[in-house]
A and B are shown apart, each in its own frame.
Chain A
Amino acid sequence: MEISQGGDDSYQKKFALPVDSEHKATEFRLFSVAAPHMRAFHLSWISFFACFVSTFAAPPLLPIIRDNLDLTATDIGNAGIAAVSGAVFARIAMGTACDLFGPRLASASLTLLTAPAVYCTSIANSAVSFLLVRFFTGFSLATFVSTQFWMSSMFSARVVGTANGVAGGWGNLGGGATQLIMPLVFDLIHHIGATKFTAWRIAFFIPALFQTLSAYGIFFLGQDLPDGNYSQLHKSGDKHKDNFAQVFHHAVTNYRGWILALTYGYCFGVELTIDNIIAQYFYDRFNVNLHTAGIIAASFGLANLFSRPGGGMLSDLMAKKFGMRGRLWTLWIVQTLGGVFCILLGKVGSLGVSIAVMLIFSVFVQAACGLTFGVVPFVSRRSLGIISGMTGGGGNVGAVLTQVIFFRGSRYSTETGLTLMGVMIICCTLLITLIHFPQWGGMFCGPASKSTTEEDYYMSEWNSAEKEQGFHKASLKFSENSRSERGKRIGSAPTPNNSTPDTYV
């Protein structure tokens, strides 16, 4: 157990995990629920899981819902697109909210605000109302951003990839689990005596209640930062309330955020698209029954149990040896391979091989998601929330784009759509070659110069007036802690000649 002293506090803070100078945990212990680090981890992945279950609760029950609400195939397709499009802007807004109010309040608020949409799914009575409830429920997928932000605030550079990967992956698991949970709940309620058209409505109370309870858990048991909550830290002066315009400006002017947003659309966006279309693909092409198609669809999402966390861990492993350049190379390789297996998936004609290719494809595409969020925490320190939100939102944009281009109407058969989607994945992933950090380098180039430091990069987000007031201190600590992204060069690397200006009041 390491004991760290809080800056000006008169009492010592004890943490159950070893921490760095920002009090972020330097180890990730999966089976611990110690406050604040591991507790934050478990609260965030469980609430994100609940939101995923709610957002994709309708697809497995569609055979009943489409008869009850008299839906056409177009209605169903539009509702599926609506479910993932709401989160595009919600994720960016969530990023801002995290930067300004902290992940705890931001995610608890969103989860509670979208719970009514899930409760009201029970009273939907037309195609329009069905589309609206799926649209508003889909906003809850923005809790992904608060999850990643929270993990990036609680865990140090050494383990942030792992923490982000496991939290994101286990949350995404909800998309697979719901394909098994909802039919079971429906069957149970139907057996108890409700007619089919009532049983599915009652079934939606389960994900809704789960969501509400997880919001309560986050509010009462969670904490924004290792040192406390934003509201307390703001009032006590330990954390200053940042200026939205500045935070926004530094996010949108950082080209790396835009590149990652686009490439995330071709791993996570592709994952969402597959969640929506894969059951029908197997049902139509290979004539399996709906139940079997549902199980196959579930297994795609369930691979998230280990594949996305695996991506995060791989990112951290590569960073140990090769630093940020290792993270970028691994991301490019894994996501490109995901594209290759997507092309294959469309070409394969037999059921067994198709399932095998789909599972391999799911592992690569989900690992790429984990690898992406091994890079995101380093793009910006001041605007971490908005960058996370942009990247997350880009994922949903990718889902909307691929569904509209390849899987709507009868322009392409589903298998052709899959192959073309694979080609698009490979092309868009090439953009990762353009990402370059002046202090660490990019895929093909080394650092800008021998003397560029982490401080140079992160301090450029603050102007001199802000530095005079000491607002940049957190970024300074982060710069120091991110030196591990140099890889094995860490010993011979330059350190800043103007060290911490602790003479500022």
Chain B
Amino acid sequence: MAFPGFLLALFLLSCLAASCCGVTFSSLQDTLIVTASPQPGQVLKAGEDKITVTWALNTSFPAGIDSAYGTIKVKLCFAPISQQDRAWRKTVDNLKKDKTCLHKIVAKPYSTSNNTFTWTVQRDVPTATYFIRAYACNSADEEVAYGQTTDSHKTTNLFEVQAISGRHVSLDIASVCFSAFSILSLFGFFFLEKRKAKASQTK
């Protein structure tokens, strides 16, 4: 009777131990106000369009809440619609395993004013729906607070990015040419084979 109880306690303790070693998103406070230039529903082109992000401390919080803030990390994050059926973008509470925000925009030291950055959407950003989140990290590089451009359900104020195709005209032409060459070679083989067979017949 006591043994299963002991096992359960051990199991719970180990779970607690595991979670305590990683910062969880649910433990963070939403103290930053983050705004970004894209309009809701706007489609940005990767490699061409720019995003201007501005962040500031929400002054409705008590003073001194930002005493531990060392760096601000601004990231491009996937909206839920772009996480569906894609386990590699899953949202997990433990921030070490969380894959919601995979693209880094900028990391800047925290200051109380002039917090803005203009970023050209990089060429390896995939086609998806996004929002922007900023994490405030302490000197030990652990997240202590955050702010995002969307609401807590991640449904408002989302924008899209249209990725580059990665295709080039030269690549298309090369593919078609090599493919045609392969098929032509095949016909060449059959022709040569027939000729050889005829030659051996007349021997």
A interface vs B, CB < 8 Å? Answer: 63, 66-68, 70, 72-74, 105, 108-109, 112-113, 115-116, 119-120, 122-123, 125, 195-198, 200-202, 205, 208-209, 212, 215-216, 219, 229, 231-232, 234-236
Q: Is the CB of A109 within 8 A of B86?
A: no
Contacts of A215 in B (CB 8 A): 182, 185
Contacts of B174 in A (CB 8 A): 119, 122, 205
Q: Does B2 contact A (CB under 8 A)?
A: no
Q: Which residue of A lies closest to B168 (CB)?
A: A198
Query: How many A-B residue pairs lie within 8 Å, measured between CB atoms?
Result: 113
Q: Which of A63, A112, A209 has most chain B Cβ within 10 Å? A: A112
Q: Does B85 contact A (CB under 8 A)?
A: yes
Q: Is the CB of A235 within 8 A of B124?
A: no
Q: Does B183 contact A (CB under 8 A)?
A: yes
Could you name 11 residue pairs across A and B whose Cβ atoms are closer than 8 Å?
A: A70-B127, A70-B128, A112-B182, A116-B179, A119-B178, A197-B166, A198-B167, A215-B182, A215-B185, A231-B197, A234-B197
Contacts of B185 in A (CB 8 A): 112, 212, 215-216
Beta-carbon contacts under 8 Å, B142-197 to A: 163-168, 171-172, 174-176, 178-179, 181-183, 185-186, 189-190, 193-194, 196-197
Q: Is the CB of B201 within 8 A of A235?
A: yes
Contact bitstring B110-153, A, C-beta under 8 A = 1, else 0: 00000000000001101110000000000000000000000000
Beta-carbon contacts under 8 Å, B31-90 to A: 84-88
Contacts of A208 in B (CB 8 A): 178
Q: Is the CB of A112 within 8 A of B175?
A: no
B97 to chain A, nearest CB (A): 8
B171 to chain A, nearest CB (A): 6
Which of B85, B181, B186, B200 is A72 in contact with, Cβ under 8 Å? Answer: B85
B122 to chain A, nearest CB (A): 9
A117 to chain B, nearest CB (A): 8
12 further contact pairs, Cβ within 8 A, besides A70-B127, A212-B182: A66-B86, A67-B126, A68-B163, A68-B165, A73-B86, A105-B189, A108-B189, A123-B167, A195-B124, A195-B166, A231-B194, A236-B203
Q: How many residues of B contact A (CB 8 A)?
A: 38
Given the known A-B contacts A72-B85, A195-B124, A236-B201, are A201 and B167 also in contact in the complex, defined by CB atoms under 8 Å?
A: yes
B181 to chain A, nearest CB (A): 8
Q: Is the CB of B200 within 8 A of A236?
A: yes
Q: Is the CB of B167 within 8 A of A235?
A: no
Q: Is the CB of A219 within 8 A of B189?
A: yes
Q: Which residue of B lies closest to A196 (CB)?
A: B124
Q: Which residue of A lies closest to B172 (CB)?
A: A123
Contacts of A200 in B (CB 8 A): 166
For the complex, give the distance between the alpha carbons of A13 and B168 in Å. Answer: 54
Q: Which residue of A lies closest to B200 (CB)?
A: A232
Contacts of A108 in B (CB 8 A): 186, 189
For the complex, give the distance between the alpha carbons of A83 and B127 in Å. Answer: 25
Nearest first, the 5 A-B pairs at minimum CB distance are A197-B166, A116-B179, A67-B126, A72-B85, A231-B197
Contacts of B182 in A (CB 8 A): 112-113, 115-116, 119, 212, 215
Q: Which of A63, A67, A208, A234 has most chain B Cβ within 10 Å? A: A67
Q: Is the CB of B172 within 8 A of A232?
A: no
B196 to chain A, nearest CB (A): 7
Which of A67, A72, A120, A236 is B179 in contact with, Cβ under 8 Å? Answer: A120
Q: Is the CB of A74 within 8 A of B85?
A: yes
Q: Which residue of B lies closest to A204 (CB)?
A: B175
A58 to chain B, nearest CB (A): 15
Q: Which residue of B lies closest to A111 (CB)?
A: B182
Contacts of B88 in A (CB 8 A): 63, 66
Q: Which residue of B lies closest to A120 (CB)?
A: B175
Q: Is the CB of B198 within 8 A of A235?
A: yes
For the complex, give the distance between the alpha carbons of A122 and B200 in Å. Answer: 42
Contacts of A198 in B (CB 8 A): 166-168, 171
For the complex, give the distance between the alpha carbons of A474 and B163 in Å. Answer: 61
Q: Which residue of A lies closest to B192 (CB)?
A: A219
Q: Is the CB of B201 within 8 A of A197?
A: no
